[in-house]
Amino acid sequence: MTFRVGIVGASGYAGVELLKLCAAHGDLQVEVAAASGHAGVPVSSHTPSLAAAYPDLVYAATDPAGLSGLDLVFLALPHGRSQELVPALVPEVGVIVDLAADFRLRDPALYPVWYGEEHRAVELLERFVYGLPEIARETISRSRWIAAPGCYPTAAILALAPFVGSGAAVSDGIIVDAASGVSGAGRAPKPNLQFGAVDEDFTAYGLLDHRHTAEMEQALGAQVLFTPHLAPMVRGILATCYARPVIPVGERGALTTQGAMEVLHRAYDAEPFVVVTDAPPSTKAVAGSNCVHLTARVDPRTGWLVVVAAIDNLIKGAAGQAVQCANLALGLPEGTALPNIGAYP
């Protein structure tokens, strides 16, 4: 069966990945690639890597009327834009997968705190489910409205959820220290993302107030101190997460490195896009794939549990996860068109 698809924000990095994944998907046919800033421009001239797959596709203006009747719409827009479109789309399209943060948070009071503005479609928040398949697969498969997780939260939640959820780690004082490639900041030109600014540099940003903190805390039911960093690479996220075991190291029944690895294996060995590895994960190993690589250690000297996750921020952290959710919502095999092997070298 072929499903008619629209991609809004199709000219951005995540939108390009969506076009790429849909081109390899036998059941998803892109009918509309909307990008208001490039309306009328051929996709192949704006992004030459898509020329073979989309020789005749032209960017359309972002107009809800042009999306009416589609089976599936992906929204790959900056935060705040989806709230303007979704009220008009809900009664007109089959499935909506929003890659932005507009419908991720359940509590509308959190939006002015973390995003600096009131939510403009509060009545729709409860309709959306959080689209992390490894955590909420059954819920996603029954939903028509899905809020795909952010890239940093995807890595941190998959790393920590098995420990917090099982009661192996305490839910306060969790630290997430993560680095992302520059593609995580989007395709629009910015002075701080120019080659001369990024090359040979490594910097922290969003100290104490990065907006993804609220998403991590909501999903984990935990208190999180999150510090993101910008790394001089194109794509990838490496998240190093720290938590305290419930039973302190040295006491009877305390968590060990072997026990921590067993927690990850129990949680994820059946998951097609999760690799639990003894070796420290690397961004190179997951680049171009929809996989997350995870490992864990318990330090007997300091008593900390350390969990490390690596993902491709544009695939598992954005477009790939969105397609994974769409597959579930449409009743298709979950892994359809999703790569589980990274590009190397």
What tokens appear for 48 in the block? Answer: 């030459």
Q: Which helix (H) or strand (E) holds 317?
A: none
- Whether 325 is a known active-site residue: answer no
Q: Are strands 3-8 and 28-34 parallel, antiparallel or unpaired?
A: parallel
Backbone angles phi, psi at 264, to 5 degrees: -65, -40
Mapping DSSP to helix (H, G, I), strand (E, B) and coil, where does residue 197 land?
A: helix
Spell out where 3-143 has E strands: 3-8, 28-34, 72-75, 95-98, 129-130
CB 279 within 8 A of CB 290: no
- Please state, in angstroms and rounded to a whole number, the distance separating the CA atoms of residues 48 and 71: 27
Contacts for 63 with CB less than 8 Å, ≥ 6 apart: 34
Spell out where the chain has E strands: 3-8, 28-34, 72-75, 95-98, 129-130, 145-147, 174-180, 203-204, 224-230, 237-243, 274-276, 292-298, 305-311
Strand pairing partners for 343? none
Counting beta carbons within 10 angstroms of the beta carbon of residue 230, is it exposed (0 to 12), middle (13 to 18) or buried (19 or more)? Answer: buried
For residue 345, is the peptide bond before it cis, meaning its omega torsion is within 30 degrees of 0?
yes
Instruction: Kindly state the DSSP code that residue 58 receives in the 8-state scheme.
Output: B
Q: Are strands 72-75 and 95-98 parallel, antiparallel or unpaired?
A: parallel
Catalytic residue among 22, 151, 241, 291: 151
What are the residue numbers of the active site? 151
